[in-house]
Structure 1
Amino acid sequence: MCGIVCWVRANGQVHTDDALFKKMTRSLEHRGPDGEGFYVNKSVALGHTRLAIVDIDNGQQPMSRDTTVVTFNGEIYNFPELKQELETIGFVFETHCDTEVLLHGWAQWGSDLINKLRGMFAFVILDKLQNKLYLVRDRFGIKPLYWALADDGDLLVASELKALKLHPKLNTDLCEQAIEDFFSLGYIVEPKSIYKSVKKLAAGHYMEVDIDDFSSLSEQPYWVLKDHLNSDYEDVESLKHEFQQLLSESVRLRMMADVQVGAFLSGGVDSTVIVGSMSQHTTQAVKTSSIGFDLSAYDESYYAKKVASHFQCDHVNTSVSVNDLSLVDKIVDIYDEPFADNSAIPTYILSQATNKYVKVALSGDGADELFFGYRNHQMFLFEERLRKIIPSFMRNSLLSGVAKFYPESRFIPKLLRAKTTFEGLSNDKIDGYHNAISISAQKTLQTIYSDKFKRMLNKYSSLGLFRSLAKEVGEQESLKQVQYIDFKTYLPGSILTKVDRASMANSLEVRVPFLDHKLVEWGLRIKPKVNLGLRTGKKLIAKSFAKLVPSYILNRKKMGFTSPLDEWFRQIPLETLESRVLSQNLLSTDYFDIQGIHNILLEHHQRKKSWINYMVFGDFRIVFKQAEDG
């Protein structure tokens, strides 16, 4: 994988600050330690750091052919077929890499090329003939791309926010809506970033830029998720065969590389299916890696080792102590902006260990969103069925009262933890789902937001965003609306962001077979009942791969990839934690109620409640995720 940077001077000014541009590019060296390259043409400067995976000797970037130049981050898995088609037309290739296919493909088809691409990608193309620039991002947001207009009018583009922040004219005023996203969901929903001036190019979008005029910058979709959302597939026997074929092809394509390819192996169904499929496409032992904790409640490594033995993999397991806090500050630097997924730390450790053996690893990400694999999906189905039975007046009045007074404690047996369920049933379906997946209840946020910040939000909330997304596909059944919300928010904002930053910080490329767009387009048409029941999700995966995946994996309870952050943070003295959380940076914003934050920290240390997510907000940190009570 790679890091890319683009800097276009406003009003046709010529580039003169080579030192700053090179510094911005080199800030992404972790994404590509195998080489760097720069291209400057009048007002346009393109930078690149390379992680060499395909055509190691000849794939240097930025790459130019005739009047087209590209800096590219990603992999185009169908580039051999596109190359053959272009050669038939008459194009002559100097390399065997996918980057050159982008150049000749753009010369032949223009922006229509994007729809032909099968892969994960973020790239910037300079078309000197038209004097235009094109920014492009893959369909699901696997690869990141930030862009901004600086205060001096210059256009800045980069793979990560840290490169843009080096520009002295970047406006770093905080985005209030992004803060609300973060404190309610644990991540920032694209296209927002933590800064008002910086946007993330949305998944499945591209932007055409007139180099002489930045006055009308707008993103355009080339792939629209809701166009593929349906419920017309339900013949399980037919679906099983199609699924096997589609996933096998997706895995085979993602094993393409001039370096060895391995896999993350958690011991869950998704990663086991990937590793099992990989073993069918190679005669060599698949290199797999897993992570374990010295606290059994968080440790899946036993199952990972068992699966590795079953498929005769070359397996490595890394063990982590629950008392290890050494990476907390490192994670702050990696993610650049607020990010509260508590599996970021183990994902970083796993990537670091995996990089010692391979440059590329396959993962099972995306399966839960596509095939309804989260426990929240099961709870949503349960609540939807109850909503059909219980009259609305009872749900709105009686159950809301029960939810208010029902005890809230992680120490209550799971079968009796019904507070979230009661709250969900007393709300609209989308409100209930938002409440279930939020890391902070709305009532809690009201205790830590200052009156000033509440006014600044001007009634914006992540809940309102969820409602708007649900309306976009309002003709679909409820579970399809939830799936749409997951794909538009949680998948790109949390899951894919987590894996990209953690892996690329260790110069490791992670590929995601479940997010092949042909597989996703097929999967989005499957009726929810094919995958989801009250006790289990991803039923089609289990049925389709019953002969491949050992029964002890298919029948075990989903554990989830997480870390013991609640215990980690109890290792820090309360006074020390408060001094870091209540830093001058936080206090200077005047966005938060200090007493409210103090109460949360005190409750956590006294074990009255468990606030288990490590939250990062610029230079201040806060423990702020209440333990699941549902």
Structure 2
Amino acid sequence: MCGIAGLYHSVQPKPVDPARIAAMTDVQAHRGPDGSGVWTAPGVGLGHRRLSIIDVAGSPQPMALPGEQVVITFNGEIYNFAELRAELQGKGAVFRTQGDTEVLLHAWAAWGPDMLARLNGMFAFAIHDAGRQALFIARDRMGVKPFHYVELGDGAVAFASELKGLLAHPLVRRTPDAAAIEDYMALGYVPDDACIVAGVKKLPAGHFLLIERGRRVPQPVRWWDVDFSKRAKGSARDLEAELVERMREGVRSRMVADVPLGAFLSGGVDSSAVVALMAEASRSPVQTCTIGFEEAGHDERGPAGLVAGRFATDHAVRTVRSDDFGVIDTLVAAFDEPFADASALATYQVCALARERVTVALSGDGADEALAGYRRYKFHAAEERVRALLPPGLREPVFGALGDVYPKADWAPRPFRAKTTLLALAQDGDEAYAQAVGVTTPAVRHGLYGQAMARQLGGYRGEERYVAAMRQAPGRDALDRAQYADFRHWLPGDILTKVDRTSMAVALEAREPLLDHRLIEFCATLPAKLRLRGGEGKWLMKKALEPWLPREILYRPKMGFVTPVSAWFRGALADEAAGLARSPVLATWFEPHAIERLAAEHRSGRAEHGRTLWQLVMLERSARRLFG
């Protein structure tokens, strides 16, 4: 895994200072501590920081074909590079290295942009083609690897893996984008197609950009999308067998490495399935790691130990404090943009533990999105069935009226917290789901904004991109649409950003075998009842794994990393929550008295605002680093 950066003058080939490229890559040294390189030519400069995984002794970057007419800087792994290498050799390509980087160079020379459909991997790369006078930029299907870019005032396009790489360039203006702050307050992260620094863009997942000299920078082109509109045929047993085989292919393809390799093991279905398939394919014990918590209701050491024992893994466990908020500033530095998924603290800790033993770790990420594993899918499907009982014109008067009079009871057990459900039923299903995946509701966040912020937003809401994705989704039913929207926004914006930044902060390469595109494309064709049945998400996957894993692993309640932010803001971080109202940074966008009232309500227990306060803490610290 690596960090990349570069400059391309799309108007005229101005000289590029190698020191500037080096500065943009050096601030990303954590992504690649094993080596660095810079290559420049008139009008272009490419930089690279390397974490050596494949062909450790060779494959330095940036890498060029003979004559330096085609040069690449590449972050990621191509899992089918050996097959592509053989095919290209059959076409006459001559290779000097043993890694996957050179395969990309010859693939570009042979197939141009059509090369992307042949790649199985996680990647973000830039290829300079002197003959075409062009820079070709591409990002993998799911958005595992990041790519930021910006058009500068001198006519150049600057790019980098992380935002900090762009900010190392003196011409990048540090101006906040109000719409991105609204996105963040709505969703808990800055989406994959937005950036908190105005003018900076992220190349969306599954897109490429071909910048040709003398022409304006075009809009990105989508080269891949997940399609939920088709349905696989065959018996449940046949589809079950195919699912296992595709999972097996995803795991085995990601076990190729020239450095120590292991896996995260939480004791949940997904990571346990990955470890089971790794154990099947490995001649030596799989190295696994788990972090535990002191809170009995959230500690996964027991289930993880059960799986480790079943497959005789070389298992490492560490107990960490759930109140270790001293890691906050480490995360702020790693993410650049504000990021409010509090499970990032635990993810960082398990990555740090893994890095003590291995350089590559496989994770179970992706199965929840592919096979409807989140509880919100169950709730959304149930709400859609209720909505179908009333015509659209009656839903708002009936459910809206009930929701208005039902008391808000954040403190009560879930069955008694019906107000949110009733108000959701009054809405269109797409709109309701968009709010369900969010953090701070429109009413709460708009009550926090100052007048200047409200004017800048002009009525824009962060939920709009989710609603648009659901309405444009290639799918047949509500579950299809919800999963599609999560693939477009939640997966790259939250889950994959979290894993990339926390793993790269400790120079660990994380791989997601359950996001193999062949597996994802197959899962999208499964009938809805094989994804979600009887309230059980990932139904077919669990049935398929019954010969592999014990029922107490397969069917126990889903448990995420515990991060008790609500308790923190009534205890150790109560003063910090109160101090948010005095922040001159937040006062740019928010009304101080409204923040003060929010913190007081939460501290007293009158209301539950823990996640919103966590958002504000992370935004305040990130904004101070970014904007001063």
Which TM bucket (shorter chain)? over 0.9
Tell me what 2:216 maps to: 215
Tell me what 2:477 maps to: 477
| Amino acid paired to 2:374 | Y
Shift of residue 534 of structure 1? 4.5
Identify which range, 342-351 or 605-614, moves more after superposition.
605-614
* Per-residue CA distance 1:342-395 (angstroms, 9 max, x = gap): 111110111011000011111111101110001100001111111222454553
Shift of residue 171 of structure 1? 2.1
Residues 1:164 and 2:162 aligned together: no
- Counterparts of 1:435-514 in structure 2 under 5 Å? 435-473=435-473, 476-514=476-514
* Per-residue CA distance 1:515-536 (angstroms, 9 max, x = gap): 1111111111112111113421
Distance 1:298 1:612, change over 3 A: farther
| CA–CA separation in structure 2 for the residues paired with 1:281 and 1:567 | 43
CA contact (8 A) 2:16 2:44 kept: no
Note the residue ranges of structure 1 that are not aligned, 5 or more in a row.
623-630
| CA–CA separation in structure 1 for the residues paired with 2:234 and 2:327 | 46
Tell me what 1:609 maps to: 607
| Amino acid paired to 2:558 | K
The alignment's TM-score, normalised by the length of structure 2, stands at: 0.95
Shift of residue 105 of structure 1? 1.2
| Amino acid paired to 1:366 | G
| Amino acid paired to 1:329 | D
Tell me what 2:324 maps to: 324
Distance 1:379 1:32, change over 3 A: same
Tell me what 1:70 maps to: 72
| Amino acid paired to 2:592 | I
| CA–CA separation in structure 1 for the residues paired with 2:313 and 2:279 | 8
Tell me what 1:413 maps to: 413
Tell me what 1:625 maps to: none
Q: SS where residue 40 of structure 1 aligns?
A: strand
Tell me what 1:107 maps to: 109
Shift of residue 404 of structure 1? 2.3
Tell me what 2:292 maps to: 292
| CA–CA separation in structure 1 for the residues paired with 2:215 and 2:610 | 44
| CA–CA separation in structure 2 for the residues paired with 1:457 and 1:405 | 30
Shift of residue 190 of structure 1? 2.4
| Amino acid paired to 2:492 | P
* Per-residue CA distance 1:560-601 (angstroms, 9 max, x = gap): 2342222233333544433356422222x2x21222211111
Shift of residue 432 of structure 1? 1.4
* Per-residue CA distance 1:82-123 (angstroms, 9 max, x = gap): 001111111111111000100111111111111100010000
Residues 1:48 and 2:48 aligned together: yes
* Per-residue CA distance 1:46-71 (angstroms, 9 max, x = gap): 10000000000002111111321100
| Amino acid paired to 2:596 | H
Residues 1:549 and 2:585 aligned together: no
% identity of equivalent residues: 38
Q: SS where residue 585 of structure 2 aligns?
A: helix
Distance 1:281 1:88, change over 3 A: same
CA contact (8 A) 1:336 1:618 kept: no
Tell me what 2:88 maps to: 86
* Per-residue CA distance 1:419-453 (angstroms, 9 max, x = gap): 22112111111121122221011111121112322
* Per-residue CA distance 1:231-255 (angstroms, 9 max, x = gap): 4457311110111111101100000
| CA–CA separation in structure 1 for the residues paired with 2:375 and 2:34 | 41
Q: SS where residue 492 of structure 1 aligns?
A: helix
Distance 1:156 1:620, change over 3 A: closer
Shift of residue 482 of structure 1? 0.9
Shift of residue 298 of structure 1? 2.5
CA contact (8 A) 2:430 2:471 kept: no
Note the residue ranges of structure 2 that are not aligned, 5 or more in a row.
none
CA contact (8 A) 1:586 1:620 kept: no
Tell me what 2:29 maps to: 29
Distance 1:171 1:362, change over 3 A: same
| CA–CA separation in structure 2 for the residues paired with 1:7 and 1:475 | 39
Identify which range, 437-446 or 529-538, moves more after superposition.
529-538
| CA–CA separation in structure 1 for the residues paired with 2:71 and 2:529 | 48
| CA–CA separation in structure 1 for the residues paired with 2:108 and 2:79 | 17
CA contact (8 A) 1:381 1:534 kept: no
Residues 1:20 and 2:20 aligned together: yes
CA contact (8 A) 1:186 1:341 kept: yes
Residues 1:359 and 2:370 aligned together: no
CA contact (8 A) 1:35 1:49 kept: yes
CA contact (8 A) 1:151 1:171 kept: no
Tell me what 2:144 maps to: 142
Tell me what 1:39 maps to: 39
| Amino acid paired to 1:177 | A
Distance 1:516 1:475, change over 3 A: closer
CA contact (8 A) 1:466 1:485 kept: yes
| CA–CA separation in structure 1 for the residues paired with 2:393 and 2:300 | 44
Tell me what 1:196 maps to: 198
Tell me what 1:628 maps to: none
CA contact (8 A) 1:337 1:618 kept: no
| CA–CA separation in structure 2 for the residues paired with 1:307 and 1:472 | 41
* Per-residue CA distance 1:163-215 (angstroms, 9 max, x = gap): 101111112222222111110111122211112211100111110011x3352
CA contact (8 A) 2:581 2:596 kept: no
| Amino acid paired to 1:553 | I
Shift of residue 611 of structure 1? 2.7
- Counterparts of 1:266-285 in structure 2 under 5 Å? 266-285=266-285
Shift of residue 307 of structure 1? 1.1
| Amino acid paired to 2:566 | D
CA contact (8 A) 1:234 1:526 kept: no
Q: SS where residue 358 of structure 2 aligns?
A: coil
CA contact (8 A) 1:7 1:157 kept: yes
| Amino acid paired to 2:193 | P
CA contact (8 A) 2:5 2:159 kept: yes
Q: SS where residue 290 of structure 2 aligns?
A: strand
CA contact (8 A) 2:581 2:593 kept: no
Tell me what 1:132 maps to: 134
Residues 1:241 and 2:241 aligned together: yes
Tell me what 2:537 maps to: 537
| Amino acid paired to 1:219 | P
| CA–CA separation in structure 2 for the residues paired with 1:570 and 1:298 | 20
Q: SS where residue 123 of structure 2 aligns?
A: strand
Tell me what 1:401 maps to: 401
Tell me what 2:186 maps to: 184
| CA–CA separation in structure 1 for the residues paired with 2:386 and 2:580 | 45
The alignment's TM-score, normalised by the length of structure 1, stands at: 0.95
| Amino acid paired to 2:211 | V
Q: SS where residue 217 of structure 1 aligns?
A: coil
Q: SS where residue 446 of structure 2 aligns?
A: helix
Identify which range, 414-423 or 244-253, moves more after superposition.
414-423
CA contact (8 A) 2:374 2:537 kept: yes
| CA–CA separation in structure 1 for the residues paired with 2:361 and 2:139 | 21
| CA–CA separation in structure 2 for the residues paired with 1:432 and 1:172 | 35
| CA–CA separation in structure 2 for the residues paired with 1:8 and 1:347 | 35
CA contact (8 A) 2:332 2:622 kept: no
Instruction: Give the paired residue count.
Output: 618
Shift of residue 125 of structure 1? 0.4
